[in-house]
A and B are shown apart, each in its own frame.
Chain A
Amino acid sequence: MLPSGRYVGQRVPRWEDRRFVQGRGRYLDDLNFPDQVEVAFVRSPHAHARLLRVDVEAARKDPEAVGAYTWEDLQGLLRPYWTMPRGPIRQARVTPLASGKVRWVGEPVAVVAARDRYVAEDLCELVTVEYEPLPAVVDAWDAMQPDRPRLYEEWPDNVVSHQTFQAGDPEAQLANCAVVIRKRFRSNRVTAVPLEGRGILARWDPLEETLTVWMGHQDVHLVRAVLSEVLGLPLGRIRVISPDVGGAFGIKLPIYPEEMVVCALARILKRPVKWVQDRKESLLGDTHAREAVVDVEAGFDAEGRIRAMRVHIVSDAGAYAVAGRGPVIEGSMLARELPGPYDLRHYAYTLDVVMTNKAPVAVYRGVAIPVSTFVMERVMDLAADALNLDPAEIRRRNLVRTFPYTTVTGHVYDAGQYVEGLDKALELVDYRRWREEQARLRERGRYLGIGICCLVDATARGGGFYGRLGLKAATQEGCILRIDPTGGVTAALGTTTQGQGLGTALAQLIADTLGVPLERVTVVMGDTATTPYGGGAWASRGAVAGGAVALLAARRLREKVQHIAAHLLEAAPEDIELADGRAFVRGAPTRSLSLEEIAHTAYFVAADLPRGMEPGLEVMVHWEPEIPATFAYAAQVMVVEVHPETGAIEILKYLVVEDCGPLINPGLVDGQLRGGILQGLGQALYEDLVYDAQGQLLTSTLMDYILPGIQEAPEIEIHHMSTPSLRTVGGLRGMAESGTAGVLAVVANAVADALKPFGAEVTALPLSPARVVELIQDRREWTAGTFHMEGG
């Protein structure tokens, strides 16, 4: 149970983060040393080519240059790497600066250091590189075929991972189904685009032989581990600090080649070395995500219950496997989470993760679940169509109702109210009325559509999700909690925050458990030197894992404080209450001690402590989730009007019922949901990373890669249900990605529903205006009389 008190459950604003509204945030590019150098990279203009010669002499000799380097210059200081040593993934090695060949447009080939970025870019133009272009493979289906150009020539083909799975007997089941839906679905390639780009500042101390690295990053401990390996430096000689981070969403989880190179340069130059990415580099080379083709065969009985499903997934991996994360996770998750919140016992998948000559792929908010939900929810609607069932009804018949439920792929839905959540959403949105409105408008030649989606989102991974594969990314979490001699409370955790306000949420938990005012709690994160070994921010684990250790530590410390107070006040520990920074005997409030007094005893007069008790008021707790993932659930409903003349999609209503268990801070939670939803809308309607046949990225600026602005943001009505998890501390569930997870599905379903009169097939994203018009294939006679002019 979460503590009850002044703070938990309340919309507590982030007063301790007021620096952000004052323009006093400290992001990576705000940090500068007077003797620093800045670097810029020479990048491959070819998607696939042999690297014949890199000549940095002219750059190196320039009086403005501090240095210019190729892989040859750095290979003594850096090791080639691959994302992970084990698991269902082919192995290869790539170098942080290209050697031998280049495999994607934007791959770093050489690096130049100068006093500032302006000069560094000038010097890059003096570097000459000789390439022998090779044919590129840009489409994953194509790249997977035999005899296509291979990115890794030691491999027989471009498949980096091939996985199969079968539960039950889907083939037999499918043969007996009343309806079989066979469809191919495509999800487009997108990237997170946090407003603050990536960057790194590295400083080598030659006397101490230590490396300090500042990087806006989601997992500082992982960074340290990877750098240790790649630089050949003992872990203990590296310190990684993440200052304020301007958004991350998964693309600040890998460790990229530029960052490795900067660390090597720091050692060579013995001056601080800084690199700050620009937006073009970001679109070119931040890890991309979500590009997949999913072939589905789903069988339903006459009552609309799904009996079996077989899928073949081709997941586009890009050109290499980034350190810290890799290209296989997305495909694996897509395959394993596809059944979603539905009861399905016969399921089989074949997964091919394929390398292509495009930017590397890793993880982006939601990681595959937005796509798996899109596929599953389209299938549900198609089956409903085929069986003449209402789309809401078909879902009711398939949603998991009995808990705990273990899916065929081994996930545990420990508790939930999935049907209730759907019904609540439909009631709140007034589903019946929208159906009536839809019918009415159809008669007048207007196209209203209602999209429904039910989803589960895997959060707070446990069970050594990455550790088993040899990747040093922790699923456990740690907290050191201390009450200091002034009665102040400090918590240090291995989680991190990039805008989620996690520090506030954790402080709320701690403040209510220890009975102190919120302002007295300081939460420290993002520094490997001062925080316990933990897992950082990913899979929405901050509240679950961070919350768990904060709560467990706070409870333990509370108990200790109660015992000391009881001892000093000559009462029973169970009669001691903590409030307002004091410990007092219940019923006799004058018999009390301040935390400061208790701390003073604990630290400085330990002889007065209960016999056998350790001095001090500091505890450390580590915790690992018991189950492989904790699931949030959501039902989302969207109503749109599609304008056939322009292909514009107008969102008339968007409602979400979210069940992520108890809420520490509804303000933070709703903010995460809305932000996540906007990113989903971005992919559904606006964003698309488009490569041409030669592997050139055509959408490499924000003029072409369109991000939704405030005018594109619909009003999103959010309602909460709370089904606490039975397997986490406090019953918490993660939720930061579940907004994103449903959007592709509801948009696609709403548009398909709107365009039913045209028999439009919605199986691919994004739903740009041109694609919508194409779907309609409007062959109506366009004369004024038959063309209705309303709206548009």
Chain B
Amino acid sequence: MKPAPFRYVRPQTREEALEVLARYGEDAKVLAGGQSLVPLMNLRLARPKVLVDINPIPELGILERRDGELILGALVRHRQVERDPRVREACPVLSRAAAYIGYPAIRNRGTVGGSLAHADPAAELGCVLLATGAVVVLESTRGRREVRIEDLFVGPYTTCIRPDELLVEVRIPAWREDARWGFAEFTRHEGGFALGLAACVVQLDGQGKVVSARLAVGGVGPVPVRLAEAEERLRGAGLSEEAIAQAAACALSLEGYDDVHAPAWYRRRLGRWLVFRSLQQAAGGGN
């Protein structure tokens, strides 16, 4: 299994990278961590004519807080997301979830930008960012645009990123100190692809009633989704077991998909269980 030949380009700056993408468009693919792309290339399922290696571009690796927001450059590695104390402070649910991504060697190379652009329905990042909210910044020679995370994934392994665009960073809104959160996933084997994931971020008022809730489920359907109905139901309610269970039950009406690992009905049930677990964590007052 050896990759097909390609032209290798290694831009040193963002501008150079964008120029290359503008020139080659559909014929080019961006190489970030390579943990998803290179297997496909080795299998010859992906055969870009031009491979644009953005790893040398330092500004794409920024990791900083700006006015409370957490900014993650496209080249921030999963390992950094897992371990950097700034991420843990600024977005604890993200930090927790990153620990579940594959194995240490995968996390050393895999990137935030790469994961989002690859749009695996069962990826941790996509699901968690739906729960936290996020904005993805795309650049091209034509300009810069921001896409809400809700609009990024259009189908399995498909995003709205155009061929000449580069995902340069993700902006995650400021974390409220009193926010509660939860994350749960289920895999058949450690480090493997999740059969389901759930993440939640919940704001409670002084009486313990839900002011706002964001519940995201991944791995069940073709893209990660928010459980809008469940979020609505929880508003104004306390996080009792009954309330949580009812909210979780909304997962049963999700669109699921069938593959060799699990049929859709199982994924929906699993989604329900995982939402329940993640809300339980949030109710339990954090982790």
Do A and B touch directly, given a CB cutoff of 8 Å in the complex?
yes
A771 to B158 Cα, complex, angstroms:
30
Instruction: Return the contact of A784 from the options B3, B244, B266 (Cβ within 8 A).
Output: B244
Instruction: Return the contact of B188 from the options A279, A645, A768, A785 (Cβ within 8 A).
Output: A768
Q: What are the residues of chain A within 8 A of B189 when measuring CB–CB?
A: 686, 706, 708-709, 711-712
- Given the known interface contacts A122-B5, A648-B186, A709-B191, the answer about A792 and B260 at a Cβ–Cβ threshold of 8 Å is no
Q: What are the residues of chain A within 8 A of B272 when measuring CB–CB?
A: 782
CB distance from B284 to the nearest CB of A (A): 11
CB distance from B275 to the nearest CB of A (A): 12
Instruction: Return the contact of B190 from the options A278, A701, A711 (Cβ within 8 A).
Output: A711
CB distance from A115 to the nearest CB of B (A): 13
Q: Tell me if A280 is interfacial: C-beta within 8 Å of chain B.
A: yes
Interface positions, chain A 722-738, Cβ under 8 Å from B, are none
Interface positions, chain A 755-778, Cβ under 8 Å from B, are 768-770, 773-774
Contact between A769 and B195 (Cβ–Cβ < 8 Å)? yes
A711 to B262 Cα, complex, angstroms:
21
Q: Tell me if B242 is interfacial: C-beta within 8 Å of chain A.
A: yes
Q: Tell me if A465 is interfacial: C-beta within 8 Å of chain B.
A: no
Q: Mark A277-309, 1 if CB is under 8 A from B, else 0.
A: 011100000000000000000000000000000
Contact between A709 and B1 (Cβ–Cβ < 8 Å)? no
Q: Tell me if A196 is interfacial: C-beta within 8 Å of chain B.
A: no
Instruction: Return the contact of B242 from the options A646, A701, A774, A783 (Cβ within 8 A).
Output: A783
A121 to B1 Cα, complex, angstroms:
8
The listed residue with most B CB atoms (<10 A of its CB), out of A278, A708, A769, A770, is A770
- Given the known interface contacts A712-B189, A769-B195, the answer about A121 and B44 at a Cβ–Cβ threshold of 8 Å is yes
CB distance from B106 to the nearest CB of A (A): 12
Q: Tell me if B270 is interfacial: C-beta within 8 Å of chain A.
A: yes
Contact between B191 and A773 (Cβ–Cβ < 8 Å)? no
Q: What are the residues of chain B within 8 A of A768 when measuring CB–CB?
A: 188, 261-262
The listed residue with most A CB atoms (<10 A of its CB), out of B188, B190, B244, B270, is B188
Contact between B245 and A783 (Cβ–Cβ < 8 Å)? yes
Instruction: Return the contact of B245 from the options A278, A704, A774, A784 (Cβ within 8 A).
Output: A784
Interface residues on A, range: 35 or more
A421 to B266 Cα, complex, angstroms:
41
- Given the known interface contacts A121-B44, A783-B245, the answer about A770 and B263 at a Cβ–Cβ threshold of 8 Å is yes
Q: What are the residues of chain A within 8 A of B39 when measuring CB–CB?
A: 701, 703
The listed residue with most A CB atoms (<10 A of its CB), out of B189, B193, B195, B272, is B189
Q: Tell me if B154 is interfacial: C-beta within 8 Å of chain A.
A: no
Q: What are the residues of chain B within 8 A of A782 when measuring CB–CB?
A: 245, 249, 272
Contact between B242 and A785 (Cβ–Cβ < 8 Å)? yes
Q: Tell me if B171 is interfacial: C-beta within 8 Å of chain A.
A: no
The listed residue with most B CB atoms (<10 A of its CB), out of A122, A690, A782, A789, is A782
Instruction: Return the contact of B186 from the options A646, A774, A785 (Cβ within 8 A).
Output: A646
Contact between B266 and A769 (Cβ–Cβ < 8 Å)? yes
- Given the known interface contacts A278-B1, A706-B192, A770-B266, the answer about A787 and B245 at a Cβ–Cβ threshold of 8 Å is yes
Q: Mark A137-179, 1 if CB is under 8 A from B, else 0.
A: 0000000000000000000000000000000000000000000
Contact between B249 and A770 (Cβ–Cβ < 8 Å)? no
By beta carbon, the residue of chain A nearest B252 is: A782
Contact between A280 and B1 (Cβ–Cβ < 8 Å)? yes
Q: What are the residues of chain B within 8 A of A792 when measuring CB–CB?
A: 273, 277
Interface positions, chain A 98-129, Cβ under 8 Å from B, are 117-118, 121-122
Interface positions, chain B 191-217, Cβ under 8 Å from A, are 191-193, 195
A708 to B191 Cα, complex, angstroms:
11
- Given the known interface contacts A782-B249, A783-B242, the answer about A703 and B195 at a Cβ–Cβ threshold of 8 Å is no
Q: Tell me if A500 is interfacial: C-beta within 8 Å of chain B.
A: no
Q: Tell me if A699 is interfacial: C-beta within 8 Å of chain B.
A: yes
- Given the known interface contacts A121-B44, A698-B260, the answer about A784 and B242 at a Cβ–Cβ threshold of 8 Å is yes
Contact between B242 and A709 (Cβ–Cβ < 8 Å)? no
Q: What are the residues of chain B within 8 A of A690 when measuring CB–CB?
A: 260
The listed residue with most B CB atoms (<10 A of its CB), out of A118, A646, A648, is A646
CB distance from A29 to the nearest CB of B (A): 13
Q: Tell me if B2 is interfacial: C-beta within 8 Å of chain A.
A: yes
Q: Mark A627-663, 1 if CB is under 8 A from B, else 0.
A: 0000000000000000001111000000000000000
A118 to B42 Cα, complex, angstroms:
10
Q: Tell me if A688 is interfacial: C-beta within 8 Å of chain B.
A: yes
By beta carbon, the residue of chain A nearest B274 is: A646
Q: Mark B238-253, 1 if CB is under 8 A from A, else 0.
A: 0011101100010000
Interface positions, chain A 78-107, Cβ under 8 Å from B, are none
Q: What are the residues of chain A within 8 A of B160 when measuring CB–CB?
A: none
Q: Tell me if B280 is interfacial: C-beta within 8 Å of chain A.
A: yes
A784 to B277 Cα, complex, angstroms:
11
The listed residue with most B CB atoms (<10 A of its CB), out of A279, A704, A784, is A784
By beta carbon, the residue of chain A nearest B245 is: A784
A785 to B242 Cα, complex, angstroms:
7
Contact between A118 and B245 (Cβ–Cβ < 8 Å)? no
Q: What are the residues of chain B within 8 A of A703 when measuring CB–CB?
A: 39, 192-193
Q: Mark A254-289, 1 if CB is under 8 A from B, else 0.
A: 000000000000000000000000111000000000
Q: What are the residues of chain B within 8 A of A701 when measuring CB–CB?
A: 39, 43
By beta carbon, the residue of chain A nearest B45 is: A701
By beta carbon, the residue of chain A nearest B263 is: A770
Contact between B241 and A785 (Cβ–Cβ < 8 Å)? yes
Q: Tell me if B79 is interfacial: C-beta within 8 Å of chain A.
A: no
Q: What are the residues of chain B within 8 A of A709 when measuring CB–CB?
A: 189-191
Q: Mark B1-24, 1 if CB is under 8 A from A, else 0.
A: 111110000000000000000000
Q: Mark B251-272, 1 if CB is under 8 A from A, else 0.
A: 0000000001111001001101
Q: What are the residues of chain A within 8 A of B193 when measuring CB–CB?
A: 703
Contact between B273 and A645 (Cβ–Cβ < 8 Å)? yes
Q: Mark A227-245, 1 if CB is under 8 A from B, else 0.
A: 0000000000000000000
Contact between B4 and A646 (Cβ–Cβ < 8 Å)? no
By beta carbon, the residue of chain B nearest A711 is: B190
CB distance from A285 to the nearest CB of B (A): 14
Contact between B262 and A770 (Cβ–Cβ < 8 Å)? yes
Q: What are the residues of chain A within 8 A of B262 when measuring CB–CB?
A: 768-770
A280 to B272 Cα, complex, angstroms:
35
Contact between B244 and A773 (Cβ–Cβ < 8 Å)? no
- Given the known interface contacts A117-B2, A773-B269, A785-B242, the answer about A704 and B261 at a Cβ–Cβ threshold of 8 Å is yes
Q: What are the residues of chain B within 8 A of A685 when measuring CB–CB?
A: 188
Instruction: Return the contact of B270 from the options A117, A646, A774 (Cβ within 8 A).
Output: A646
Contact between A789 and B273 (Cβ–Cβ < 8 Å)? no
By beta carbon, the residue of chain A nearest B44 is: A121
CB distance from B100 to the nearest CB of A (A): 12
Contact between A712 and B1 (Cβ–Cβ < 8 Å)? no
A2 to B280 Cα, complex, angstroms:
61
Chain B residues in the interface with A (C-beta under 8 A): 1-5, 39, 43-44, 186, 188-193, 195, 240-242, 244-245, 249, 260-263, 266, 269-270, 272-273, 277, 280
List 4 other contacts, CB 8 Å, given A121-B1, A770-B261: A646-B186, A769-B188, A769-B270, A774-B266
Q: What are 26 A-B contacts defined by CB distance under 8 Å?
A: A118-B3, A121-B1, A121-B2, A122-B5, A278-B1, A279-B1, A685-B188, A686-B188, A701-B39, A703-B193, A704-B261, A706-B189, A706-B192, A708-B189, A711-B189, A712-B190, A768-B188, A769-B188, A770-B262, A770-B266, A773-B269, A774-B266, A783-B245, A784-B240, A784-B241, A785-B241
Listed from nearest, the 10 A-B pairs whose CB atoms lie closest are A784-B241, A711-B190, A784-B245, A770-B266, A278-B1, A118-B2, A645-B273, A770-B262, A690-B260, A784-B242
